[in-house]
Chains A and B, each alone.
Chain A
Amino acid sequence: MSQAGGVPLLEAVDVGKIYRSRHLLGRPVEARALEGVSIAVRPGDRLAIVGESGSGKSTLARLFVALEQPTSGQVRFEGVPVNARDRRGLVDLRRAVQIVFQDPAGSLDPRMRTGESIAEPLRALRVTGDHGARVNELLAAVGLPASTAKRYPHELSGGQRQRVAIARALAPHPRLLVADEAVSALDVSVRAQVLNVIDDLVERYGLTLVFISHDLAVVRHVCTRVAVLYRGRLVEDAPAQQLYESPSHPYTRALLQAVPRLGRPFAYQPAATAGQKAW
Chain B
Amino acid sequence: MSTGTALLEVSGLCVDLGRIPVVSDVSFTVTAGERVGLIGESGSGKSVTALAVIGLLPEGMSARGQVRLEGEPLFGAPERRMSELRGNRVTMVFQEPMSALNPLMRVGRQVAEVLRVHRGMARRAARARVVELFARVGLEEPEQQLRAFPHQLSGGQRQRVMLAMAIACGPAIVLADEPTTALDVTVQAQVLRELRQLVDEEGSSLLLISHDLAVVASLCERLLVMYGGRVVESGATSELLSRPRHPYTAGLVATSAAVSPDHDRAAGPLPVIAGTVPELGSFPSGCVFRGRCDRASEVCQRLPDLAGDDHQVACWHPVNPAPATPPRAAVQAGGPASIGAGSAS
Q: Which residues of A contact B (CB under 8 A)?
A: 52-53, 157-160, 187-193, 195-196, 199-200, 214-218, 220-224, 240-241, 244, 254-266, 268-270, 272, 274, 276
Additional A-B contact list (11), CB under 8 Å, known A188-B211, A260-B212, A260-B218: A157-B279, A187-B277, A188-B252, A189-B255, A190-B273, A193-B273, A260-B192, A262-B333, A266-B196, A268-B196, A272-B138
Stretch at the interface among B23-31, B257-265, B301-309, B311-319: B257-265
28 A-B Cβ contacts within 8 A?
A157-B277, A187-B277, A188-B211, A188-B255, A189-B255, A190-B277, A192-B273, A193-B274, A195-B259, A196-B269, A199-B269, A216-B261, A217-B259, A218-B259, A220-B260, A221-B270, A241-B264, A244-B262, A258-B186, A259-B185, A261-B218, A261-B261, A263-B333, A265-B218, A266-B192, A268-B196, A276-B186, A276-B190
Asked whether B197 is an interface residue with its Cβ less than 8 Å from the other chain, the reply is yes
> Restricting to B201-235, which residues have a CB under 8 Å from any CB of A?
211-215, 217-219
User: B265–A221 contact, CB under 8 A?
Assistant: yes
Nearest neighbor of B337 in chain A, beta-carbon distance = A262
User: A52–B270 contact, CB under 8 A?
Assistant: no
Known: A192-B258, A220-B264. A263 touches B272 (CB 8 A): no
Bound CA span A216–B218, Å? 18
User: B260–A259 contact, CB under 8 A?
Assistant: yes
- Write the nearest CB–CB distance from B212 to chain A, whole angstroms: 7
> Restricting to B30-72, which residues have a CB under 8 Å from any CB of A?
41-42
Contacts of A53 in B (CB 8 A): 155, 184
Contacts of A264 in B (CB 8 A): 218, 333
Nearest neighbor of B213 in chain A, beta-carbon distance = A262
Count the B residues whose beta carbon is within 8 Å of the partner chain — how many? 54
- Write the nearest CB–CB distance from B219 to chain A, whole angstroms: 5
Known: A188-B213, A241-B264. A215 touches B276 (CB 8 A): no
Bound CA span A44–B187, Å? 34
Contacts of A193 in B (CB 8 A): 272-274
Contacts of A276 in B (CB 8 A): 186, 190
Contacts of B189 in A (CB 8 A): 257-258, 260, 274
User: Which of A214, A223, A241, A266 has the most chain B CB atoms closer than 10 A to its own CB?
Assistant: A266
Bound CA span A224–B264, Å? 10
Asked whether B172 is an interface residue with its Cβ less than 8 Å from the other chain, the reply is no
Bound CA span A146–B5, Å? 56
Asked whether B133 is an interface residue with its Cβ less than 8 Å from the other chain, the reply is no
Contacts of B211 in A (CB 8 A): 187-188
User: B41–A268 contact, CB under 8 A?
Assistant: no
Per-residue interface assignment for chain B, residues 242 to 281, with 1 indicating a CB less than 8 Å from any chain A CB and 0 otherwise: 0000000001110111111111110001111110110100
Known: A192-B270, A263-B332. A214 touches B212 (CB 8 A): no
Nearest neighbor of A51 in chain B, beta-carbon distance = B184
Q: Which residues of B contact A (CB under 8 A)?
A: 41-42, 138, 155, 184-190, 192-193, 196-197, 211-215, 217-219, 238, 241, 251-253, 255-265, 269-274, 276-277, 279, 330-333, 335-336
Nearest neighbor of A53 in chain B, beta-carbon distance = B184
Bound CA span A270–B258, Å? 30
User: A262–B193 contact, CB under 8 A?
Assistant: no
Contacts of B258 in A (CB 8 A): 192, 221
Nearest neighbor of A50 in chain B, beta-carbon distance = B185
Bound CA span A220–B262, Å? 8
Contacts of B241 in A (CB 8 A): 262-263
Contacts of A257 in B (CB 8 A): 189
Which of A52, A190, A256, A266 makes the CB contact (< 8 A) with B261? A256
Known: A52-B186, A189-B255. A217 touches B272 (CB 8 A): no
Nearest neighbor of A185 in chain B, beta-carbon distance = B42
- Write the nearest CB–CB distance from B293 to chain A, whole angstroms: 12
Contacts of B263 in A (CB 8 A): 220-221
- Write the nearest CB–CB distance from A160 to chain B, whole angstroms: 7
User: A258–B193 contact, CB under 8 A?
Assistant: no
Known: A188-B252, A215-B185. A263 touches B193 (CB 8 A): no
User: B269–A262 contact, CB under 8 A?
Assistant: no
Contacts of A255 in B (CB 8 A): 185-186
User: B185–A258 contact, CB under 8 A?
Assistant: yes
User: B271–A192 contact, CB under 8 A?
Assistant: yes
Which of A188, A262, A265 makes the CB contact (< 8 A) with B260? A262
User: B41–A187 contact, CB under 8 A?
Assistant: yes
Contacts of B186 in A (CB 8 A): 52, 254-255, 258, 276
Known: A258-B185, A261-B333. A189 touches B41 (CB 8 A): yes
Bound CA span A217–B188, Å? 15
- Write the nearest CB–CB distance from A17 to chain B, whole angstroms: 20
